[in-house]
Homo-oligomer: A and B are copies of this chain.
Amino acid sequence: MITPDLKIKIGSLEMKNPVTVASGTFGYGPEYADYVDLDRLGAVTVKGICAEPHIGNQTPRTFETASGMLNAIGLPGPGAQGFIDKYLPFFEDYEVPLIVNIWGKTVEDYGRVAEILGDQSRISALEVNVSCPNVKEGGALYGTNLDLFRTVVEEVRSKTAKPIIIKLAPNVAGIKPFAKAAESCGADALAVMNSYPAMAIDIETRRPELANRTGGLSGPAIKPIAVKLVWEAAQAVNIPIIGMGGICGPDDAVEFIIAGATAVAVGTSNFSDPSTAVRVIDGLERWMADHDVALVEELRGTVIA
């Protein structure tokens, strides 16, 4: 029986395995360190950061739904410099590659945060959230309008030499044009998918369950949507794709990779089981061994469709 090699590359970023965590579900790094050996992960992806500190949404911010949850956290955060001061030192004790998810209210914002964080050697890559479904000042807009989308990708690209991962919005008629645009504007990789715009209402109070009214649906409920979007995006581009959406175990990761993903991210499942990402890594290695798959590359996009 072979011992599979799980190494993969996202642009110049080398990951010893294809498993990271989804931005916003794993805090800024320290929060899960008691439960997960961060150095086991292919990379840690932290909560979305913008140029300036941001207060985010009022509460309630999350709500549980059938096999999923809604979130409208609203991207609170310490801002680029705050992140560097408060959280970057923590990672000095670890070797795991660090991916920082960034967002902005304006194209300039995107550029500024990319520039500031791009200068940090401890940061391995930037994941650009153009698909945040719940920040009125931005997000959705950039992710669903092809022209705005291009300007943001170009702006970020022009401001950093680090690998940039463009995280696509799922709520579009077709994902391929956005995938292609990101690639042609110099993106190193794609992340598919962000949570899906949704809503729940408390029938007694007649108020939305979220202070922000709408939020993003995530978890196993959306997995079949995510798998399809990864499969379509993979047909459109040659850059790697980080697949996410409802991944709870090794089989889910294998499904995303077969659909065309080079790497995967565990999000909502961290909440029910912090050991999910490590289970996925161990399980993926076992699965590859059992199936005589030596390299993730050999599995990627092998769906017979």
Shortest distance from the beta carbon of A205 to any chain B beta carbon, whole Å: 7
Contact present for A66 and B223 (CB under 8 Å): yes
Partner of A199, one of B173, B217, B259: B259
CB of A213 within 8 Å of the partner chain: yes
A20 within 8 A of partner (CB): no
Q: Are A208 and B67 in contact (CB under 8 A)?
A: no
A-side interface residues, number (CB < 8 Å): 47
Provide the bound-state CA to CA distance between A205 and B254, in Å: 12
Majority SS of interface residues in chain A? mixed
Nearest chain B CB to A258's CB is how many angstroms away? 5
List the B residue with the shortest CB-CB distance to A212: B305
Q: Is the pair B228, A214 in contact by a Cβ cutoff of 8 Å?
A: yes
> With A and B bound together, what is the CA distance between A173 and B217 in angstroms?
15
Q: Are B201's CB and A227's CB within 8 A?
A: yes
Residue A251 at the B interface, CB < 8 A?
yes
As a 0/1 sequence over residues 249 to 286 of chain A, the CB contacts with chain B under 8 angstroms (1 = contact) are 00100110011000000000000000000000000000
Known contacts A258-B203, A258-B206; is-contact A67 B303 (Cβ 8 Å) = no
Residues facing B in A184-231 (CB within 8 A) are: 196-201, 203, 205-208, 213-214, 217, 219-225, 227-228, 231
How long is the Cα–Cα vector from A169 to B173 in the complex, in angstroms? 9
Chain B nearest CB: distance from A144 CB in Å?
A: 4
Residues of B near A251 (CB, < 8 A) are 203
Contacts A67-B67, A173-B144; A217 near B224 (Cβ below 8 A): yes
- Which of A171, A173, A198 neighbours the largest number of chain B CB atoms within 10 Å of its CB? A173
Listed residue (A201, A203, A207, A224) with the most chain B CB atoms within 10 angstroms of its CB: A224
Measured in the bound complex, the distance between the Cα atoms of B259 and A144 in whole Å is 24
A65-B198 contact, Cβ under 8 Å, with A173-B172, A208-B305, A304-B206: no
Contact A225 B206, beta carbon cutoff 8 Å: no
Known: A221-B66, A221-B221, A246-B66. A198 touches B305 (CB 8 A): no
Known contacts A144-B173, A171-B171, A172-B173; can you find 12 more A-B pairs with CB under 8 A? A65-B220, A65-B224, A66-B68, A67-B68, A199-B224, A201-B259, A201-B305, A203-B254, A205-B304, A207-B303, A208-B303, A217-B224
Chain A to chain B contacts (Cβ below 8 Å), 19 pairs? A66-B220, A66-B246, A67-B68, A144-B173, A145-B173, A172-B173, A196-B225, A198-B225, A199-B224, A199-B227, A201-B255, A201-B305, A203-B258, A203-B287, A205-B304, A207-B304, A207-B305, A208-B303, A221-B222
